[in-house]
Structure 1
Amino acid sequence: MMAKIDPGRFFEDYAIGQVIEHAVPRTVSGGERALYHALYPARHALYSSDLFAQSCGLPAAPIDDLAAFHVVFGKTVPDVSLNAVANLGYAEGRWLKPVWPGDTLRSTSEVIGLKQNSNGKTGVVWVRTRGLNQRDEVVLEYCRWVMVRKRDISAPAPETVVPDLKTVLDPADLTVPQGLDFTGYDFTLAGEPHRMADYEVGETIDHVDGVTIEEAEHMMATRLWQNTAKVHFDLTFRPEGRLIYGGHVISMARALSFNGLANAQMIVGLNGGAHANPCFAGDTVKAWSEVLDKAETGAPGVGAIRLRLVATTGGAPFALRGEDGKYGPDVLLDLDYWALMPL
């Protein structure tokens, strides 16, 4: 009798060019926004107020950009990272269309790279994932690579293919939502007076606030995105504690960055990211940012600002790596992204 359960894919189950259609489409609603804003101190005005969004040329407030990312990401977990040892990085992430309440999202991934590790027990799998809406429009896409266990250590190693991915998206690669116009932007309602011209490349910002991660909240968030990774729920997989979903840390740090970057309204590009150290319940997340670049867009009053967002467990702000070049033990996240901001 054939087994009816799915143990997930192992390293030898992947092949270059393989396309995986992920299960369980998700229709999003205002409920996603309400839960997202309950789980994180998220308060960027464009995602909080229909009237504010309409004053910026949009028909209504979209679903938060990272909430859309989590929905798309969560669908990939049973097929890509259920048997992963670690999520290693991201590249070439682009938000291509806003996600609106009522949209139905699904995910598809293509295997673009494979490399068996020297220990013969694991390998690295690179995938390009796309999130599509009910009109088959791609709303976002990103690449990520994960270290995955082998089912059979004696299985032959595949031919090594390491994809050539951009380390930084060019501003021309970014998509500004149709109609977005910041020429009448209300800085008072947004919460801070600072426009892109007020930020200098190389400037660092300590976001001051901190949030202690709670077991119940991180598990609720991970379930909300239908992420089934065992390490986030089952203590028998990590007796030292349930591993906090990396996206939970990303959203927490992004929400904390409001204090100092309230007008970095929309994330439109993900250049790269690393989960530098594991996060567990009881850790207090703090955040700081560095301005890496600035660019104009073709949209009226809209600029693009490139930011490094670093989440820590409370070490000295602006300390990232030790003398050995490795991330400091208090660094949880190092994220490089583009956001849209009034010029």
Structure 2
Amino acid sequence: MAKTNAGRFFEDYKLGDILVHAVPRTVAEGERALYHALYPARHALYSSDEFARDCGLEGSPLDDLAAFHVVFGKTVPDVSLNAVANLGYAEGRWLKPVFPGDTLRSVSEVIGLKQNSNGKSGVVWVKTRGFNQMGEVVMEYVRWVMVRKKDQDLPAPETVIPDLKQVIPAEDLVVPEGLDFSNYDFDQAGEPHRWGDYEVGEKIDHVDGVTIEEAEHMMATRLWQNTAKVHFDATFRPNGQRLIYGGHIISMARTLSFNGLANAQMIVGLNGGAHANPCFSGDTVKAWTEVLDKADTPAPGVGAIRLRLVATKGGEPFDLKGEDGKYKPEVLLDLDYWALIPQ
């Protein structure tokens, strides 16, 4: 009997499968320090316990995307170890803040299957939930991946494509208990811009750029315990270049967006996302944002803002797709999310 895990192939997934992912992870203050070393992360709520307490929280939580990466990383050995590509995200919600000392674990359910016409691969949809040590769901999301088929002679499964919401309604967003921006300190946060200063349709060039380094991306991938072969093994791809982990690009773009969106403090919803083109070491990542929507929340002084965050490796800002409707080759990431911002 084989002792090692070669990962699941497309034919190994069945609709309704529950995947209990291994290795719970306790996150500590070091997680925050390393996250802020890897990215230019400066949002005040995640940098200062005092700032967070002034906003009604017990202290500074772990960055929302750091919590996402921990939950996501657990799923890789069971979902995307043999993936060709991670295709998209939907229906993501952050339900409770994650604080240093919390222990996170992940469970996924297979909710969709579709074999590709070439018979060599297929798409698997999973809904993943991240739990803390008290059994509370701290976040949930759907993603779909293209996975290789090991035995191409096996018949295709029945096609089931889940019906997913394109946008999470604002009323379904969860505002952390106690969050209150009534006495928000704009000077400490770094910018004066509040909810009312942003207009739907407005586009913001975040100006700054960061060149991706091989060592940093490898450190990030190990930190999140992401075992996908395309990120580690230079022999796994024909050109010998390791793909930069998509989560690394998400975090880099989000932290670059501080310049212009310093007060978009908490991510609470992930409506959709696409890793449009591959990124490699040496590429310089820049970012721009389009304001898609705004909404009130029941929390004092707290508004919600829906943002389209685009990461690029060149080209002009605000240039997303060509006349053929396909992403421009310099576009790396197209992410649609909800954030909480002071009114």
TM range (shorter): over 0.9
Q: Which residue of 1 aligns with 2:315?
A: 315
**SS across alignment from 2:278:** coil
**Whole-angstrom distance in 1 between the partners of 2:332 and 2:129:** 26
**Whole-angstrom distance in 1 between the partners of 2:138 and 2:226:** 19
Q: Which residue of 2 aligns with 1:263?
A: 263
Q: Which amino acid aligns with 1:103?
A: D
* Offset, 1:314: 2.0
* Offset, 1:239: 4.0
Deviations 1:5-54 (A, max 9, x none): 01000001101111000000000000100000000000100000000000
Cα-Cα RMSD: 0.4
* Offset, 1:171: 0.3
Q: How does 1:52-91 map to 2 (within 5 A)?
A: 52-91=51-90
- Structure 1 portions without partners, runs of 5+: none
**SS across alignment from 2:340:** strand
**Whole-angstrom distance in 1 between the partners of 2:148 and 2:113:** 13
**SS across alignment from 1:310:** strand
**Whole-angstrom distance in 1 between the partners of 2:200 and 2:142:** 27
* Offset, 1:151: 1.1
Q: Which residue of 1 aligns with 2:135?
A: 136
Q: Which residue of 2 aligns with 1:293?
A: 293
**Whole-angstrom distance in 1 between the partners of 2:66 and 2:184:** 24
Q: Which amino acid aligns with 2:135?
A: D
Q: Which residue of 1 aligns with 2:198?
A: 199
**Whole-angstrom distance in 1 between the partners of 2:242 and 2:213:** 11
Q: How does 1:218-237 map to 2 (within 5 A)?
A: 218-237=217-236
Count of matched residue pairs: 342
Q: Which amino acid aligns with 1:270?
A: L
**SS across alignment from 2:8:** coil
Q: Which residue of 2 aligns with 1:280?
A: 280
TM-score, scaled relative to structure 2: 0.99
Q: Which residue of 1 aligns with 2:25?
A: 26
Q: Percent of aligned pairs with the same residue?
A: 82
**Whole-angstrom distance in 1 between the partners of 2:72 and 2:211:** 24
Deviations 1:81-136 (A, max 9, x none): 00000000000000000001000000000000000000001000000000000011
**Whole-angstrom distance in 2 between the partners of 1:149 and 1:61:** 41
Which runs of structure 1 show a deviation greater than 6 angstroms over 4 or more consecutive aligned residues?
none
**Whole-angstrom distance in 1 between the partners of 2:262 and 2:19:** 37
**Whole-angstrom distance in 2 between the partners of 1:191 and 1:164:** 41
Q: Which residue of 2 aligns with 1:337?
A: 337
- Structure 2 portions without partners, runs of 5+: none
Q: Which amino acid aligns with 1:38?
A: A
**SS across alignment from 2:124:** strand
Deviations 1:203-247 (A, max 9, x none): 000000000000000000000000000110111112431100000
Q: Which moved more, 1:236-245 or 1:99-108?
A: 236-245
**Whole-angstrom distance in 2 between the partners of 1:239 and 1:133:** 40
Q: Which amino acid aligns with 1:115?
A: K
Q: Which moved more, 1:11-20 or 1:234-243?
A: 234-243
**Whole-angstrom distance in 1 between the partners of 2:277 and 2:292:** 23
**Whole-angstrom distance in 2 between the partners of 1:239 and 1:72:** 30
**Whole-angstrom distance in 1 between the partners of 2:2 and 2:319:** 50
Q: Which amino acid aligns with 1:14?
A: Y
